[in-house]
Chain A
Amino acid sequence: MSLDEYRKREFKQVGQRVRRPDGVDKVTGRAMYGADATAPGMLVGRVLRSPHAHARIRSIDTSAAAALPGVKAVLTGADLPVQEDAFVRDVQDNCMAREKALYDGHAVAAVAAVDAATAKAALKLIKVDYEVLPHVTDVDVAIKPGAPVVQAGRTLENVPAGMSENVTSHCEFGHGDPAAGFARADHVVERHFRTAATHQGYIEPHAALASVTSDGKAELWCCTQGQFFVRTLCAAIMGMEASQLRVTASEIGGGFGGKTTVFIEPVALALSRKAGRPVKIVMNRDEVFRATGPTVHTSMDVKIGMTKDGRITAAEAHLRYSGGAFPCGTVDMGAQAAFAAYDLENVRTYGWNVMTNRPKEASYRAPGAPQAIYAVESVLDELCQHFRLDPIDVRLKNAARKGTKSSYGPTFPDIGLVATLEAAKRHPHYTAPLKPGQGRGISCGFWFNFGGNSCVSLNINTDGTVGVTEGNPDIGGSRASISLMAAEELGIPYERVRTIVADTSSLGYNDVTDGSRVTFAVGLATIKAAREAIRVMCGRAARIWGIDAEAVEWKDGAAVPAGPNAGKFPPMSLAEIAAVSFETGGPIAGHHEVNVDGAGVSFGVHIVDVEVDRETGATKVLRYTVFQDAGKAVHPSYVEGQMQGGAVQGIGWALNEEYIYGPDGRLQNPGFLDYRVPVASDLPMIDTVILEIPNPGHPYGVRGVGETGIVPPLAAISNAVSRSAGIRLSELPMSPPRVLKALGA
């Protein structure tokens, strides 16, 4: 790991709450989102979806649809190649079913027509002959032998015998001897938990406009978190070379991990190729819920042993995650994250990935971690209640620190958990009096964070302004943060820097905007690109002054002689060097291309006060404070926004959000009316406290902040409900009927 990047410094720009660059366009409606793209001669694409949870497709008769005037192309799975690579095959089969429809909403055919009404009429003319098969939508049912098999032959060798073929993989992490540890405990608590699948709930539905020309070139405009990955997947599905497919990411109306793969993009491309005209597909909300990528739903057992003074002696978790109708690896992340916050002698986690007849899971903010940590932090809280110990003191006693061998293997460098817990303990919220019937809960949270492939071009314009070209859609303020870091390094005002998100033909490969990586990794590449530009500018000044390039250094936005021996020259500002650049060697730019390591894990602690209405089971969130280590908050308002947004999504998950399947295997609530994300009036102000424990892996100490915030709310609220109402729930969401039932009212 690159753990020597950080240098302490006095920041001039980084840390300022500068004006966001996308604000005016967004509030005036001028921003171009996915559905805003148009092209001359554009057709409307629509997708026909399976009404069955599990069905063999005997045949699809598209002749009547194809014959309808105005229909320009009809597509089924038979029109797409059979992929050899299992990963690409799963992505493609999820975009368009082949042989079997695997969940309610699975795409089985698509049309492109001159208008929406014709496309809709054409869908009704497609005759699909289904053989309805037994289905399974619950992880605990799907794991048992004899359950309906979603896909055969997908089980890896490491899965123990005696389980259903739906179990695709198994994982195990940990160290020490849990059995010996439990024997030493004064008390052991073991509990079973279940969590419902939730959806990211981004406001902007998926949209894609594809244009494939007769000479084999293609353009794709879509809302995505990663245009380069979209290109990789679509080029593979379409059998195209990457150079011939240019993907441009639109402004994005929320992603949270859900826009890290493709759903309609290859369908739009394939329809466009068939029709010879541009094709636009925009999902409606029903399609977004039924056929994009919600989270896993889970069944978990967690066992923790503790001494009466609050030291954990052993910990174990058994995690069963289902990411829908395809193999997925999310349980591995849950199994690694479960006990990451604690310094444990004896710890073991086991995970099983299980297929069910549900849509293929996509990432959602810290994928896999909120569920496992909910179970762990709930059991920990029950032990605190049992021994009447302060929940923060117990966590401090067991907290992971620098040098702790984590439960998933690596030894931690500088981390911020202890500082975060101490800040929470000191905060007035923690000791504020509660009224009778109110309860306070806390929970820790953790996320790994990610670095990854990043490239940045930084161009010095002749008027002294700077353009930064990067390749990651901005879902959390990255353009502002990247501009700030470029301005800081160059020593020029933030307002002179503009950062844009490039298409796939304008820059080298950038990993998806995920893993809270962009401000960290692209920020690092930006700083290094700026340093490269500074090197060039120092060389230009040296040339003008007639001295060695090594004798010039960069200070406060200008080249200056490095010392008295270098000669006496007045400083030459960036603008002055830029203005004469055509005479000193040509345009000036800096580049940096890197696969960044050393992302730096992030910890958070949440405190929440709730009040449960004992007659209705409704839980009211009264007060909420988020404490999180940001390493260095580049733009504090955005960091606070990430912390608040994560908390709010976690509150929704804890209290009301869930995918509800009927006995017929169909999704009962594919809309925002019955899939209940919190509304503004459900929430108190989410207070935030940013901790800054520098990440050794970043020049400014930055850590990713986007994901950790969704991890603690689930247990924090469950723990608060327990202390408010005297009931310990072990299933999410804690919807009013469930709470009322637990109250025995």
Chain B
Amino acid sequence: MRYLAAKTAREAAEALAAEAGVTRVLAGGTDVLVQMKAGLVEPDLVVDIKKIPGIATITPEAGGFRVGAAVPNSVLGEHEGVRTLWPGVVEGANLIGSTQVQGRCTMAGNLCNASPAGDAVPGLVAANAVARIAGPDGERDCPVADIPAGPGKTTLKKGEVITSILLPARPARASDAYLRFIPRTEMDIAVASAAVSLELNADGTVKAARVVLGAVAPTVVVADAAGKALVGTKLDDDTLAKMAAACEAVCRPIDDKRGTVAFRTKTAGTLAKRAALIAYARAGGSK
């Protein structure tokens, strides 16, 4: 196994593109190192991107924030600006692992690990976040929603590395929330999860809504009909019931050791309801 600490994104991309064997990108390493230790992957080349200048910083951009691919989630969680603008994204990212893991793990890593249960991903997708990707042929931008392709799989091409994620600007009276269900209270993996991002009208009715579900399909699911069900309402009980039903309708989970199809489906709707109410209150809505 070879280890390369890349000095530029281009160097990382070129090295990854040139390697014929198994490659892994190392940022926090909280997935890669665990998988290597468990013998699940034996990479020929590990490219460390942490040392690329600027890759571990959070920068204001066009009213939003550009979060570097190597920003640890604990640093993200202490960033007042991001926390105020996208509290749901931050609370999702901060649920990953333990306090120790938080000091290393990153949102970009969570995205690239491509677990359907990744806690950072639903919030990013609900936020319409955009990943900046360096490749051997240059940079490109891609919506976060288009990156997961299935369990352990992404749409990134050989040699491509995510270098940052842009959390966009948002109007006043807007907020978001993320909830997951785990059988314990921490140190666990989502059995089902939901992120809801809302924008309100001046009268407190929902102007726009985006509902995203995790751990209920091979990738995160954008529940369009669930989001639409909220528009024009103040989240009355009937609306929430309709939204939950719309969530259940798009779930395609599996039965496994962590939960049953029925449980995951039902719980995804429940979490979406609860997350919607939190996001609504955060956006300044009152019923």
Contacts and interface: CB of A to CB of B under 8 A. Distances in A.
Interface in A37-62: none
A656 B184 contact: yes
B189 interface: yes
A660 B255 CA distance: 13
B3 interface: no
Contact of A682 (B181, B184, B257): B184
A736 B184 contact: no
Contacts of A674: 257-258
B183 interface: yes
Given A616-B181, A736-B183, A737-B259, A676 B267 contact: no
A669 interface: yes
A431 interface: no
A735 B183 contact: yes
Given A616-B270, A745-B266, A737 B181 contact: no
A737 B260 contact: yes
B188 interface: yes
Given A660-B257, A668-B257, A669-B257, A741 B185 contact: no
B36 interface: no
Interface string A488-504: 00000000000000000
A745 B188 CA distance: 24
Interface string B222-263: 000000000000000000000000000000000011111011
A128 interface: no
Given A616-B270, A617-B263, A676 B183 contact: yes
A85 B163 CA distance: 65
B42 to A, nearest CB: 10
A615 interface: yes
A679 interface: yes
Contacts of B258: 674
B142 interface: no
Sorting the interface of chain A by its residue count into under 10, 10 to 19, 20 to 34 or 35 or more gives 20 to 34
Interface string B162-190: 00000000000000000001011111110
Given A616-B267, A737-B260, A740-B263, A673 B181 contact: no
Contacts, number: 54
Contacts of B39: 120
Given A660-B257, A668-B257, A678-B184, A673 B189 contact: yes
A662 to B, nearest CB: 8
B254 to A, nearest CB: 13
B278 to A, nearest CB: 15
A681 interface: yes
Interface string A630-674: 000000000000000000000000011000100000001100011
A679 B186 contact: yes
Contacts of A655: 183
A736 B260 CA distance: 10
Contacts of A120: 39
Given A736-B181, A740-B263, A615 B270 contact: yes
A740 B39 CA distance: 36
Contacts of B267: 615-616, 736, 740
Interface in B128-184: 181, 183-184
Of listed A120, A286, A615, A745, residue having the most chain B CB within 10 A: A615
B264 to A, nearest CB: 9
A678 B257 CA distance: 17
Contacts of A740: 262-263, 266-267
Given A616-B181, A660-B257, A737-B259, A673 B188 contact: yes
A679 B187 contact: yes
A618 interface: yes
Contacts of B186: 679, 681
A676 B270 contact: no
Contacts of B262: 737, 740-741
A735 B256 CA distance: 13
Contacts of A736: 181, 183, 191, 259, 263, 267
Interface string A725-745: 000000000011100110001
A1 B123 CA distance: 67
A286 B40 CA distance: 13
Contacts of A669: 257
A566 B252 CA distance: 92
A735 B257 CA distance: 11
B257 A618 contact: no
Interface string B185-213: 11111010000000000000000000000
Which 10 pairs, one residue from A and one from B, show the smallest C-beta to C-beta distance? A737-B263, A681-B185, A668-B257, A615-B270, A660-B257, A737-B260, A682-B185, A656-B183, A669-B257, A679-B187
8 contacts: A656-B183, A668-B256, A679-B184, A679-B185, A682-B184, A736-B191, A737-B260, A741-B263
Interface of B: 38-39, 181, 183-189, 191, 256-260, 262-263, 266-267, 270
